[in-house]
């Protein structure tokens, strides 16, 4: 009997050892320690033993049961740990894998250009002003020395809303508005970026809606040389130190004298190439000395005050700076175009 119990223990421990899964282990437990198992059987048959044998066998049977139970428990723990480790391993996250790219938006090229222009002029003491896009005939034309039926109105084909209201054709009305606000007794030094509208047929260089940045400086003793100095500073900071500027006579009813400003071509440095149409120069803005009548209409005494004004088109400037060949790219918002110009 004792030998049988010993053999049972050895056999059971071997089976425990061989169990590969928790289910195997459970089978081993049931077959050795279950109600119909051999140990239970031994314990059940104790009655048939002699009184001397009974305690000896009883003790041994209990020991065998304890040994098997302990082995089962230890093995169970080992298997559970192994299963957990396996699970952890299969579910580990590789933190070194690159993440999925997230599409990040950015500011529009035009916004960036306008901001850059603003920063440069703020650096020269200009403040930023705004005006309405739906403008009165008075501010858009009359206050700028363009009375009704003035032929120069033809230079800017307009979208009229009523007889007296239109979509502004330029940002120059903000000159008259700002001077009006300053009541004729304070210097004005402002730039005004904004959208403007003209009845043009859209093509590579024309758009019925585009952007302008207006500039106005009115004070005692403002001269043409101030205009030239400010614009020269702007051109060099914006386009590069090596760029030259040149002023050519032009005509605007609200400035006298009027000029157009060219910058030297960055491709050929003035030699003449296809970008500058063989002239060596590229036109970038219009400006001039504020016409005395315009000062007077806005409440500034032209005997005391003088000023300069200019207007530029950020689209054109962006096209020159980045070699964009079609103005419509700014408005069709193809992200492949837009993405090239911001560092996301």
Distance from the first to the final alpha carbon of the chain:
84
**Options 126, 139, 238, 252; binder of ligand PHE; rule CB under 6 A:** 252
Residue nearest to ligand PHE (CB): 311
Q: How far is the CB of 335 from ligand PHE (least distance, A)?
A: 30
As measured in angstroms, the least distance from the Cβ of 155 to ligand PHE is 7
CB of 201 to ligand PHE, least distance (A): 18
In the chain, where does DSSP find H-type helix? 2-18, 22-33, 38-44, 53-90, 109-123, 137-140, 173-181, 224-239, 292-297, 314-322, 329-332, 335-338
Is-contact 191 128, C-beta < 8 A? Answer: yes
* Smallest separation, CB 192 to ligand PHE (Å): 10
CB of 102 to ligand PHE, least distance (A): 41
Contact stretch for ligand PHE (CB under 6 A) within 19-27, 41-49, 240-248, 283-291: 283-291
3-state secondary structure of 209: strand
Residue 286 touches ligand PHE, criterion: CB under 6 A: yes
Q: Does 141 bind ligand PHE (CB under 6 A)?
A: no
Q: Which of residues 170-209 bind ligand PHE (CB under 6 A)?
A: 170, 172
Q: Which stretch binds ligand PHE (CB under 6 A): 67-75, 76-84, 181-189, 285-293?
A: 285-293
Q: 254: number of CA atoms within 13 Å, CB side?
A: 30
Distance CA 69, CA 32 (A): 10
C-alpha–C-alpha distance, residues 174 and 192, integer Å: 7
How many CB atoms sit inside 10 A of residue 143's CB? 22
Residue 145 as a binder of ligand PHE (CB under 6 A): the answer is no
DSSP 11-39: HHHHHHHH--SHHHHHHHHHHHHSTTSHH
Beta strand 306-312 with 209-219 is: antiparallel
Which of residues 235 and 309 has its CB atom nearest to ligand PHE in the complex?
309
- 253-282: contacts with ligand PHE (CB under 6 A): 255
Q: Does 126 bind ligand PHE (CB under 6 A)?
A: no
Per CB under 6 A, 28 contacts ligand PHE: no
314 binds ligand PHE (CB under 6 A): no
Residue 38 or 286 having the CB closest to ligand PHE: 286
- The reply to whether 139 sits near ligand PHE by the rule CB under 6 A is no
> From the centroid of its chain, how far is CA 52?
93
Of 37, 193, 288, 307, which one interacts with ligand PHE (CB under 6 A)? 288
49: burial class by Cβ within 10 Å (0-12, 13-18, 19+)? middle
Name the site residues for ligand PHE (rule: CB under 6 A): 170, 172, 214, 252, 255, 286-288, 309-311
């Amino acid at each position: 009997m004792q030998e049988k119990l010993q053999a049972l223990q050895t056999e059971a421990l071997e089976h425990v050892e061989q169990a590969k899964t928790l289910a195997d282990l459970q089978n081993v437990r049931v077959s050795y320690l279950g109600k119909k198992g051999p140990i239970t059987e031994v314990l059940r048959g104790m009655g048939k033993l002699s009184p001397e044998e009974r305690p000896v066998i009883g003790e041994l049977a209990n020991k065998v049961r304890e040994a098997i139970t302990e082995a089962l428990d230890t093995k169970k723990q080992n298997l559970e740990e192994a299963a957990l480790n396996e699970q952890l391993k299969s579910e580990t996250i590789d933190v070194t894998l690159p993440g999925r790219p997230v599409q990040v938006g950015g500011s529009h090229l035009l916004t960036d250009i306008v901001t850059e222009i603003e920063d440069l002029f703020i650096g020269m003491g200009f403040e930023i002003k705004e005006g309405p896009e739906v403008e009165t005939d008075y501010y858009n034309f009359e206050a700028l020395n363009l009375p009704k039926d003035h032929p120069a109105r033809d230079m800017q084909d307009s979208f009229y809303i009523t007889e007296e209201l239109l979509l502004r054709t330029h940002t120059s009305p903000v000159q008259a508005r700002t001077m009006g606000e300053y009541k004729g007794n304070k210097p004005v030094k402002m730039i005004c970026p904004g959208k403007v509208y003209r009845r043009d047929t859209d093509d590579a260089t024309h758009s019925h809606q585009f952007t302008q940045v207006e500039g106005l400086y009115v004070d005692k003793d403002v001269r043409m040389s101030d205009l030239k100095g400010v614009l020269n500073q702007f051109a060099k900071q914006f386009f590069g130190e090596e760029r030259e500027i040149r002023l050519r006579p032009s005509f605007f009813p609200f400035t006298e004298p009027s000029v157009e400003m060219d910058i030297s071509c960055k491709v050929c440095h003035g030699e003449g190439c296809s970008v500058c149409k063989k002239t060596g120069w590229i036109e970038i803005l219009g400006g001039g000395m504020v016409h005395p009548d315009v000062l007077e209409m806005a409440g500034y005494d032209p005997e005391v005050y003088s000023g300069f004004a200019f207007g530029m088109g950020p689209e054109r400037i962006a096209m020159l700076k980045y070699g964009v060949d079609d103005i419509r790219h700014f408005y069709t918002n193809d992200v492949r175009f837009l993405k090239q110009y911001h560092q996301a």
